[in-house]
Each structure stands twice: as C-alpha cells, then as structure tokens.
Amino acid sequence: MTLIKSISGIRGTIGGTVGDNLTPIDAVKFASAYGTWLKQQRNKENYRVVVGRDARISGEMIQNLVMNTLVGLGIHVIDLGLSTTPTVEVAVPMENADGGIILTASHNPKQWNALKLLNEKGEFLNGVEGEKILNIAETDSMTFAEVDALGKITKNQAYIDLHIDEVLDLPLVNKKAIEAANFKVVVDGVNSTGGIAIPLLLERLGVHPVKLYCEPNGHFPHNPEPLKEHLTDLSEMVVKERADLGIVVDPDVDRLAFMDENGDMFGEEYTLVACADYVLSRTPGNTVSNMSSSRALRDVTEKHGGHYQASAVGEVNVVELMKTTHAVIGGEGNGGIIYPELHYGRDSLVGVALFLSLLAEKKMKVSELRKTYTSYFMSKKKIQLTPQINVDEILKTIESRYANENLTTIDGVKIDFPENWVHLRKSNTEPIIRIYTEAKSQVAADTLADKFIDELKAIAGI
C-alpha cells in the first residue's frame, strides 16, 4: 500500500494507515492544503473550485471528503460528479473558478485514487506551486471558516455536453466529412467516464458507436492502461463488428489509443503523430512532446515546415514549452493530445475529433493511414539499484562518456544518435534508472536498451 506526494498532487491506495495510504484523513489534509494555498494566492472575497471524478469505486467517498473540506474553508464548490480530466480543465475557466480538483488515479488499478490539482486556468500546477501546497500540508497551517462563512456545493452535470460543444465548435473539426464517412467505431471505456463521454461525442459527430465496457461502475474489466496486451477484447470486437476502428481511453480520458480495422494497434505513440499531421496541414507551426516520445512527431512536423522541440517528462513541462514556442499542437507519446485552440491539457475528446477528421478527409482505412508514417519501435526497461548507489553520479558518468554526441540533460540524460536514441531517467521515489530507447526495428531498440543496461551496471559495480 502506497501514498505518493508530488508537486502535481497526491495519489495512493485506498485503506490502510494514515500517512502510508490515501485514507480519508489524507484526502482531507491535502484538500485543506490546496484550499489554503488557493486562498493565499487569489486573496479575494469569494472562492470557487470545480471538482469532478472518474468512475473508480472510491471516487464518490473521496469526492465528498474533498468537497466538504473546501466548504469548511469557505470555498464554493461546483460539483461535476462523474466527469473526465479534460472536462474539469475546460470547466474551470468557463466557470471563472479559482481552481479545480480531479479525483482520479488515471491509468492506475482500481485500488488507487488521487487528487489532481488545477490552477485558475484549468492547468496543472507547476513545481513551485506544488511545493507550497506540500509545505502547507506538512505544517498543518490551515485555518477554517466560521459557521456563517462556510462554502456551498452546486451540482452541474452538463459539462461533458458543454465540453463536446467546445470540441465541435473548433474550426478544424470537420463534422460534415466525418458524418459522410459513416464510421462504425468500437469504444472501450474501461467502465469509467470515457464510456459516457466518447460515445456521446461520436453520436454528435454522426458516428455509430459500439460500446464495450462503457458502464461507469469503476470495475475495470482489464488493466486500465491502454496498451496492446490489455486490449484483446477490443481487438476481437472490432473484427467481429466489422468496425472501421476501435477507440480506447484510460479511466480519466486524457490518454487515447486507436485500433485499426483488423484489430491491430495503431500505436499509442502515433495518436499524437496523426493528430499533429492533420493540424499542421491546416495550421503550420511548431510542436512539442516530451523527451521519451517518438521521433515520428519530429518527422511529421518538419514535413510541414515546422520546428519540433522536446520537453522534460511531465504534462506541465510540455505545456510550458508549448507556450514558449507557440506550438500549435503537442502532447505526450502515451496518447495525450494537447490542442491549445481549446485548452492546455491532454484531451482524448479533441484527439478523437481531430483523428476522425483526418481519416474522413483522406478517405483511408486506419491501417493505410498508419503506413504513411515512418515506423519506429520503442523499448522501455529499467534497472533496479541499491539505495547506497548514487544514481546522479552514474548519469553524470554517462553524460561525460557521450559528451561528443547530441545530448540533452534537462531530464536525466537523452542521447540522440543518427538512427536511434536512448533516454535515461532516475525515479523520484526509488533507486531505479528507467531506460527508454527508440529505433527502426524492435530488435535494434531492445539491443540498444540492453547495451546501456550493461553499461549502467558496470558503472554501478553490480
């Protein structure tokens, strides 16, 4: 059982002892710290926070604890109930709220939950802001409102529809072409809120959705991370239904993956690549993804005359670099699409609409579309070290050894070779080095990863 406190929020497993797991006491403590920070930051008369949750079993309990804690601080709450991460992000500025909290542990199994924290723009907090909240929680420096100054809770369950309205109003979403294509799509909503939002979006786009695991009861029918090995049921259903494609999202709907008409994965890394290809064809510009994402985004960006840059891993880092470089689209290789025309957050609804627009306009099958992009293959491995080993020193040694190569050190060490790359990152919570590689074949990617694992072990003396 685990409790992880980070600058982006707090997540942990439900039950167990206070301080070691996400217990009711911990949920109240960190909601209190967030509300206190928010009042310090905004320094105004009235405060409003938008709160929504995915469908996991503990969600209603945690949400009630969080909302009533904010009420106790004198903060008014807009309760979206069952929602998605991007929907809450969209709702914050639409409500002129001071912040937002999403109760979701994203792709983690059902025993997990988390408080994800947003600012007044509906964007994740940066490192400085997150540290302040952690400090408030550690020092218990919270003061609650007196009885006449308590906040109130207002329910508003219209925001998934409002979010869809915003997506459909985007100039690049070609509803007419999508409707004319008469797509049939199987949707795996992993029994969470994607099972509500994605079919609704598809219906309004004129697409026929076939629902698979779209009952938002929190009983995930398979590992909720949208990876090939977890999606055999979706693959079989796509073929059985003779569907044009399959769509799968994670429990809070910020990660998106597609499956072609043959039941084969389009490739999670290529969700962003395809959406960027479409956006750049209409609005040329720059792109951003994190350092562990595929080179294929760079290729498609340069094809359209744009400039690609890589950020440190983490959505807040991607967003920061997107703003600096005025990127027209960006995201993460795990299927996260960030389209600033709507908002600065990973959004599967926007991703679905952009992808279907591309597919409809090209009049291609999904498998044919995939062949238009360079094929890269990734390997993701890790090496476990003992706590006594200095991980930073090991990475410094690698950095000096490869000083003549194309190096990036903003987040661990990334070495860009002409035909492939390797990214070495240390874990913030364990003595682990993660090794990500990419090459033009799976064998080459695995071989490169194994080479660096051997080199890391030799440096560490293990």
Q: How far apart are CA 270 and CA 329, in angstroms?
A: 14
Phi, psi of 258 (to 5 degrees): -115, 155
Contact 369, 358 (CB under 8 A): yes
Contact 113, 189 (CB under 8 A): no
Range 317-320, long-range pairs (CB < 8 A, 24+ positions): 317/290, 317/411, 318/288, 318/289, 318/290, 319/123, 319/124, 319/344, 319/345, 320/126
The one-letter amino acid code at 175 reads K
Interior angle at CA 154, CA 150 and CA 160, nearest 5: 145
SS3 at position 198: helix
Q: What does DSSP say about strands 153-155 and 112-118: parallel, antiparallel, or unpaired?
A: unpaired
The catalytic residue among 8, 32, 83, 106 is: 106
Contact 436, 292 (CB under 8 A): yes
Strand partners, 380: 436
Q: Which helix (H) or strand (E) holds 459?
A: helix 442-460
Q: How far apart are CA 68 and CA 48, in angstroms?
A: 13
Q: How far apart are CA 160 and CA 84, in angstroms?
A: 8
Q: Which helix (H) or strand (E) holds 79?
A: strand 76-82
Tokens 């938002």 — which residue?
216
Tokens 């938008």 — which residue?
50
User: Is 311 a residue of the active site?
Assistant: no
Q: Which residues are catalytic?
A: 106
